[in-house]
Structure 1
Amino acid sequence: MALVSTKEILQDAYQNHYAVGAFGAHNLEIIKAVIAGAEKMDAPVILQTTPGTIKYVGIHYMKAMVEAAAETAKVPIAIHLDHGDSFDIVMKCIRAGYTSVMIDGSHLPFNENLQLVKKVVEAAHAANVPVEAELGTIGGVEDDLEVEESSAFYTDPELAEQFVLETQIDSFAPAFGTAHGMYKQEPKLQFDLLNSIHSRIDCPLVMHGASGVPAESVQHALNYGIAKVNFSTELKDVFAEALRLYFRENPSQNDPRKYFVPASNAVKEIVVEKISMLQSPLKV
């Protein structure tokens, strides 16, 4: 089937209290593994790329690979720009045929972030492309940007309400205690804060930095409007570990058609696990 917009699949998740998995796509093997996992679970899936991945793979290669995979897929697939860091990269993705974009101005002062997001929304909505944006700062490392978790700050619910109303974004990423990358200790998620944000905002919420968050915490968040959950680090970890194991056992092997198989299977297993986790909330 053709690539789909995230707007419809996230609205359904939001209204029915489950979440769609959004997985970092870095190469063909991971793309195919994510889709295979989604097909096994008969669930929609979002393949997302950061500006760093786009620079590495090439925007047209990435779009072509995902589009080709979607044509034969049995489940809805969207391609999303994650943490777009400029108006320019957002427009390049829209022109290339991405079906969803995120503009991340969270590092800017509130009013500058607001104006940047409004500019992106105006352009993206004219092309029928939904927009995700963030307010507050999520710690950890994403691409080449590192934010110390101690320097991250939570989203203010009142500002979040103003931000969403004025920008007319389609999904909103609040900062409530998650971080990018793997955690050194279990994160302390602020569910009261998330509930307060959810009560003020009527649009799907997005959890960034879900790799390593306990399943119970992720499922608990589904009660408070979380409809999209991002995973990347765990996929890269299992992919790399499977490759290392394969080469330890097969040191003379040089055929990528063989050594990528266990790495891809490891990613598929993680995707199945995460999608299963996201299909129902842990009731409060």
Structure 2
Amino acid sequence: MPLVTTAELVRDAADRRTGVAAFNVITLEHAEGIVAGAVRAARPVILQVSQNAVRFHDGAIRPLAAALRAVADEAGVDVSLHLDHVEDVDLVRRAPDAGYSSVMVDAGALPYSDNASLTAEQTRWLHEQGLAVEAELGYVGGKDSQPQSAHAPGVRTDPEQAAAFVAATGVDALAVAVGSSHAMTSQTAQLDLDLIASLREAVPVPLVLHGSSGVPDDVLRAAIEAGVVKVNIGTALNIAYTGAVREALAASETVDPRPSLTAARAAVADAVAQLLVVVAA
């Protein structure tokens, strides 16, 4: 199917009071597995590529994006492309030509006034190009640029400040800090559901949860019911991917990478299909 926009998928999920999942892509096998899982679950999906993933591909934004567009064209579900956690302004400016329909402008590690100023400037430009914008307020944690713990005092998103930030920047979605953390390898995060509900009431745009791999399924579902719309998932797929590669390599001495990558792609599809039942019920 032709690509749809992230804004369409997020808006539809918000209207239906459910969630839409955005899965991190590093390799083509990630994308193929994600779409296969989405087709199996009969749910739409957002393929998102982070600035770190672009860096992994030697800073080239277009080749992977072109591959993702081709994967989406062959999919039997709606798929959008999102460029995630972008701190480099030059990379923001390359997003439209690469085919992304949305960008997360990540200035969350900066002081509030600098975050708001930079985000507003990039949002104006991206809107002129027809792209939707996500930003972050608060510290989710787990990234090198966010050294504070997700549970440190004062790092969670304040509803009043969030409302002011959205008004000042014009962003289309807001990633909030409510207890999750990036790069968690176990589902032990406990979210502040009351804070999510307060943020939903205060903020006129959809809420985004980063670090969702570390959230138990029942808590993740409760977070969506409380007001989260876009759910970002990355580490859970990498656990499935690398686990399958290790197992396949251990079982054979072949030098052909295809058996291990085939196993990785299948493991990603299984993880996605299971997660989509939780996120997009």
User: Which interval holds the TM-score relative to the shorter structure?
Assistant: over 0.9
- Cα distance change, pair 37–215 in 1 and its aligned pair in 2 (3 A): same
SS class of match (1:102): strand
Q: State the AA in 1 paired with 2:35.
A: I
| Aligned equivalent of 2:276 | 275
| Aligned equivalent of 2:20 | 20
1:41-52 alignment runs, 5 A limit: 41-52=41-52
1:46-85 alignment runs, 5 A limit: 46-57=46-57, 58-85=60-87
Q: Which of 118, 125, 138 is the aligned partner of 1:123?
A: 125
C-alpha distance in 2 between matches for 1:146 and 1:173: 14
| Aligned equivalent of 2:210 | 208
- Per the TM alignment, residue 256 of structure 1 is displaced from its structure 2 partner at its CA by 2.0
1:1-40 alignment runs, 5 A limit: 1-40=1-40
Render the CA deviation track for 1:117-158: whole Å, top value 9, x for unaligned: 1111111111111000010011113xx545241557101110
C-alpha distance in 2 between matches for 1:279 and 1:222: 9
Q: Where do 5+ consecutive residues of structure 2 fail to align? A: none
SS class of match (1:11): helix
Percent of residue pairs identical: 35
C-alpha distance in 2 between matches for 1:184 and 1:31: 23
| Aligned equivalent of 1:254 | 255
Aligned: 1:169 with 2:194: no
| Aligned equivalent of 1:223 | 225
Runs (4+) of structure 1 moved beyond 4 Å?
none
Q: State the AA in 2 paired with 1:106.
A: G
Render the CA deviation track for 1:206-259: whole Å, top value 9, x for unaligned: 110011310111000112221111111111111111111111111x11112222
> TM-score, normalising length from structure 1?
0.93
| Aligned equivalent of 1:264 | 265
Contact 2:182 2:210 in 1 (8 A): yes
Q: State the AA in 2 paired with 1:275.
A: L
Number of paired residues?
277
- Cα distance change, pair 133–139 in 1 and its aligned pair in 2 (3 A): same
- Cα distance change, pair 184–68 in 1 and its aligned pair in 2 (3 A): closer
Task: Please provide the CA RMSD for this pair.
Answer: 1.5
- Cα distance change, pair 40–23 in 1 and its aligned pair in 2 (3 A): same
SS class of match (2:214): coil
